[in-house]
Amino acid sequence: MYSAFGYSGFAVTDAMYVLDPVVGSWTELTHAADRREAPSAQFIDGKFYAVGGWRPDNSTDPKLEIYDPGTDIWSTGAPAPAAYAGQGNAALDGKLYTVGGCDVRCGTTEAYVYDPDADAWSRIADYPERVSWEACGGVNGKLYCAGGDADSKGESKHAYVYDPVVNTWTSLPDLPIPLWSSSYTAANDQLLISSGITNDTITNQGFAYDPEAGAWSALPNANVATYRGGAGLGLYKVGGGSEPYTPSSTVELLPGYDQGGSTDVTWLSTSIRQFTLQPGASTTVTVTLDASVPRIAQPGDFTATLALDNDTPYGMRKVPVSLHVDPPKTWGKITGTIRGVQSDGTTKPLAGATVEIDSWAASYSLRTAADGTFALWLDARNNPLDVIVAKDGYRPVATTLKIKKGTTLISDFTLKKQ
């Protein structure tokens, strides 16, 4: 979970942080070039794109900055055609969409799309009303936006869907309440909205829009009522203001909403991606499952969903896909639990401990799960294995092990405090 930019209570920031949810700790990363408050920001194909927002002097920033987690380096892309803050924004089919926003006033109908492959911006059909601070999300090839606020028209509970194929916005059922400046994301094929401002009051209410059902439903209330906070798959809710001009450092998680949309699965492919059917006609799509390395690095059970969409008023079912991968006959498994000795003499599982496994053929670096466990399948011909277990604040342990093909070697470790 990444968090960047914003207002700290004292200044506009250019900071970037990443949360390790297993360990439960944040790490500061390389700062961006520009300080921004309320930019549009999304991950697309493994990179973080941020554009717009207010600079410290309250002017809006058109610069597009791109962060690569693999290198911890920022770069720049084509600047936005118009600079806005407080836009509704979403990632959809590998592109960044921005809708509405604020410049000298809040509320515009302008909407844009950025294509990272072409490094180019395009203006799309105007939003049906002037808007800023609305919630947006990309679900199954379409862009959904709801709520928002404009200086002259006030709070909104209107909702719309944008179809990129025909470049048109269409009305949807209204939100149950007017709501703006919420934390929002798209997950589990729904637009999720939590907290924000309604009737000039900060709320902790949340709602989900299900395009397949065409209806809104209530989400569990957040623990802390905030506005202008971040959100992400999880459902994570990060920061925001708990009262006017008072930022909150609270991070909350509503479990179960962790499925992203339209993500390609490396081990699944189809013979065709798009086709046209005449009335009464049919076509055959061949689905191929590929368990070879590097598409799948470890044996196990894998699941995915084959999403079907069309340009008619009728919905289509999703097709569940599952794949079971057996280990090669020469492979064995090493697994175990890493525990740490506490000050009272008891032990507890250590989440986020490093398990380094080296052989003459390859090296593997593992992180333990929340229950302290780790597991790795590998070729028994890699023997012997040099294993190092380490965790901050504990003495590392090193040993040499051998695995046998077709069997599981259980190797538990207990680390002592330094």
Domain ranges for the chain = 2-257, 266-326, 331-415
Strand spans (E) along 105-182: 111-115, 120-123, 135-139, 142-146, 149-150, 154-155, 159-163, 168-172
CA dihedral angle for residue 304, residue 310, residue 314, residue 315, rounded to 10 degrees: 10
pLDDT score, position 243: 82
pLDDT score, position 367: 86
What's the whole-number mean pLDDT along residues 321-329? 93
Q: What is the C-alpha to C-alpha distance for residues 146 and 174, in angstroms, rounded to an integer?
A: 8
Which residues, other chains included, contact 46 with Cβ-Cβ below 8 Å and sequence gap of 6+? 68, 69, 70
pLDDT score, position 261: 60
pLDDT score, position 24: 84
**DSSP string across 295-356:** T--S-EEEEEEE----SSSS----EEEEEEEPPPTTEEEEEEEEEEE-TTS-EEE-TT-EEE
pLDDT score, position 56: 97
pLDDT digit string, tens, across residues 266-303: 899 899 888 899 999 999 999 999 998 778 889 999 88
Confidence label for 309 from pLDDT (cuts 50, 70 and 90):
confident
pLDDT at residue 252 greater than cutoff 90: yes
pLDDT score, position 154: 87
pLDDT at residue 263 greater than cutoff 70: no
pLDDT digit string, tens, across residues 183-213: 999 998 899 999 999 999 999 999 999 998 8
Phi, psi of 132 (to 5 degrees): -155, 165
What's the whole-number mean pLDDT along residues 236-250? 89
pLDDT score, position 323: 94
pTM for this prediction: 0.75
Mean pLDDT of the chain: 93
pLDDT digit string, tens, across residues 9-38: 899 999 999 998 888 889 999 999 999 999
pLDDT score, position 306: 84
What's the whole-number mean pLDDT along residues 150-156? 86
| Vertex 299 angle, CA 295 and 300, to 5° | 105
Q: For the chain, how far is it from start to end, CA to CA, in angstroms?
A: 30
pLDDT score, position 274: 84
- Give the residue with greater pLDDT, 370 vs 125: 125
- Give the residue with greater pLDDT, 139 vs 264: 139
Confidence label for 322 from pLDDT (cuts 50, 70 and 90):
very high
Residue 219 burial (CB count, 10 A): 17
Q: Is 2-257 CATH 2.120.10.80?
A: yes
pLDDT at residue 262 greater than cutoff 60: no
Burial 99-132 (b: 16+ CB within 10 A, else e): bbbbbeebbbebbbbbebeeeebeebeebebbbb
pLDDT at residue 227 greater than cutoff 90: yes
Q: What is the C-alpha to C-alpha distance for residues 314 and 300, in angstroms, rounded to an integer?
A: 36
pLDDT digit string, tens, across residues 330-341: 999 999 999 999
CATH architecture of 331-415: Sandwich (2.60)
Share of the chain above pLDDT 70, in %: 99
pLDDT at residue 319 greater than cutoff 90: no
What's the whole-number mean pLDDT along residues 375-404? 95
Are residues 15 and 252 in contact, defined by beta-carbon separation less than 8 angstroms?
A: no
Confidence label for 62 from pLDDT (cuts 50, 70 and 90):
very high
